[in-house]
Amino acid sequence: MIEGGVEAFAGSRVLLLQGPVGPFFARFAKDLKRAGAHVEAIAFNGGDWLFQPPRSVCPTTLYRGTMQAWPDWLARLIVARSIDMVFLFGDCRPVHRAAHRVATRLGVEVGVFEEGYLRPDFITLERHGVNANSPSRQGPAHYRACPLRQTTVRPMPRSFWPMVWWGFVYFLAASLARPWFRDYRHHRPIGFLQALPWLRSPLRKAWYALAERGVQARMTGAWSGRFFLVPLQVHNDAQVHFHANVGGVAGFIADTIASFGRAAPADALLVFKHHPLDRGYCDYARTIARAARASGCAARVVYCHDQHMPTVLPHCRAVVVINSTSGLAAIGCGRPTKVMGEAIYDMPGLTFQGSLDRFWSEVDSAAPDRDLYERFRGELIATTQINGNFYRRLDRDACATGLVWTGERARAAATMVAFPLRGSSTATLAARTPARATI
């Protein structure tokens, strides 16, 4: 939610790097140009090229060099084009990590898009970084001093299948064009074989629907109040690999079961829920069964897949996550939550701060502070969230992206000039561009 909507970026010279799969950045470029910004884009692979903005909106440069040469090449382009703002999706991708360092060194503002902290109705846009890299991370005292905000939210229709479709098209184009981008290294595998997991996913979904009949009913019935819920993350999630020292998802599973086996009450159950986007890629059944047998708790550990999270969350005893946004949803439901990685919401008053071994037995005294959560949520929306979605337009009439840009954040926003980057001076930023928007 930006002051004056996307028009806040009028007069900026904007560079777009990689966006979400699909046409979101092309639509964003249209909104920026309509608002009066000068926009340029860079494509790194066939997927980026396919979804580039129309040339009538902005020129797109193909980068076909090596990753080693990328930082110097980008620095020269930023200086030559007098770029004063860079937008990108995800700050942990190799091309974006290098770009972030270059932009920061040159005093150029970086706006980072990411999936919403509060899903499914929001996307995230922050200056500098997101999640564990977010500059907006504060302690509980800060949020307790924040006002209770009233936020109007338009519900976002389901966007799972549009996301799947855009992802399929993006990776198909990237695979076909690999000979033209030989030196590019994506943050995830690119190749025709990557279509197989997406073909396997609906088959597994159908199988789990049969094999796990009655599991959700037990979670909301006989197991209600007894089970600890562990929502798993996608195996190659950057947040798992860059902001959590847990040995990946498999290591997290093994450590959680070991702790549960030695420290949890004898009547408790442990339920692992698979991530729907990882359904076609990974199956942790053997990993979970082996760890549960080794810890002597095989009869009390359950592995499930497609149960409805908003339905089962209120019935769990507590939640354990790496750093998933599911943890924030659990806190919103009043469930005690233990975070094993780095998360923007991991703080005293919202999450359990002791060890995992202690969590199982001290959970009854670890309920989140509702007032702190409401103030944190309101501030999070006001400073980092935009109502809408990357893969499906919420309001087609409002703008090309379909985002609802305006909201309470608009009344609190200022110009970027008032918020210099680390290592840059306000005077330097003002000299580069006299009026820029706050992200």
Q: Letter for the amino acid at 391?
A: Y
Mean pLDDT of 123-133: 91
Mean pLDDT of 213-242: 95
The CATH-assigned architecture of domain 214-369 is: 3-Layer(aba) Sandwich (3.40)
First CA to last CA across the chain, in angstroms? 8
Q: Among 45-49, 122-126, 156-160, which stretch is predicted with the lowest mean pLDDT?
A: 156-160
Percent of residues, the chain, with pLDDT higher than 90: 77
Higher pLDDT, 390 or 429: 390
**Can you give the pLDDT at residue 235?**
92
Q: Dihedral (C-alpha) 415, 417, 419, 421: value to the nearest 10 degrees?
A: 140
Confidence check: pLDDT of 417 > 80: no
Spatial separation of the C-alpha atoms in residues 36 and 130, rounded to whole Å: 27
Percentages (nearest 5) of helix, strand, coil residues in the chain: 45, 15, 45
* Whether 110 contacts 93, CB under 8 Å: no
Confidence check: pLDDT of 223 > 90: yes
Helix ranges restricted to H, 17-69: 24-35, 46-50
| Domain 5-161+376-432: CATH class, spelled out | alpha beta
Among 433, 422, 432, residue whose Cα is nearest residue 127: 422
**Can you give the pLDDT at residue 4?**
58
Spatial separation of the C-alpha atoms in residues 377 and 143, rounded to whole Å: 9
Mean pLDDT of 295-311: 97
Spatial separation of the C-alpha atoms in residues 225 and 20, rounded to whole Å: 38
**Can you give the pLDDT at residue 187?**
79
Among 419, 417, 400, residue whose Cα is nearest residue 39: 400
**Can you give the pLDDT at residue 439?**
53
Spatial separation of the C-alpha atoms in residues 131 and 134, rounded to whole Å: 5
**Can you give the pLDDT at residue 423?**
33
Higher pLDDT, 388 or 409: 388
- At 145-174, the pLDDT tens digits run 999 988 888 999 989 889 989 988 999 999
**Residue boundaries of the structural domains of the chain:** 5-161+376-432, 214-369
Confidence check: pLDDT of 50 > 70: yes
Confidence check: pLDDT of 438 > 50: no
Q: Letter for the amino acid at 369?
A: D
Q: Dihedral (C-alpha) 300, 314, 118, 364: value to the nearest 10 degrees?
A: -70
Mean pLDDT of 59-67: 96
Mean pLDDT of 50-79: 96
Among 364, 90, 331, residue whose Cα is nearest residue 226: 364
Confidence check: pLDDT of 273 > 80: yes
**Can you give the pLDDT at residue 418?**
27
Higher pLDDT, 413 or 265: 265
Spatial separation of the C-alpha atoms in residues 70 and 279, rounded to whole Å: 34
Higher pLDDT, 410 or 148: 148
Mean pLDDT of 166-185: 91
| Structural Rg of the chain based on CA atoms | 23
- At 321-345, the pLDDT tens digits run 999 999 999 999 999 999 999 999 9
Q: Letter for the amino acid at 60?
A: T
**Can you give the pLDDT at residue 239?**
86
Confidence check: pLDDT of 308 > 90: yes
What value does the mean pLDDT of the chain take? 89
Question: What are the tokens at 370?
Answer: 């509702």
Q: Letter for the amino acid at 346?
A: D
Q: How confident is the model at residue 3 (pLDDT cuts 50, 70, 90)?
A: low
Residue 94's alpha-carbon distances to 67, 87, 139, 184, 238, in angstroms, are 8, 15, 30, 10, 11
Spatial separation of the C-alpha atoms in residues 393 and 370, rounded to whole Å: 32
Q: What count of residues does the chain have? A: 439
User: Contacts from 409-413 at CB under 8 Å and sequence distance 24+?
Assistant: 409/1, 409/2, 409/3, 409/381, 409/382, 409/383, 409/385, 410/1, 410/2, 410/3, 410/4, 410/5, 411/3, 412/382, 412/383, 413/2, 413/3, 413/8, 413/437, 413/438
Mean pLDDT of 96-123: 95
**Can you give the pLDDT at residue 100?**
96
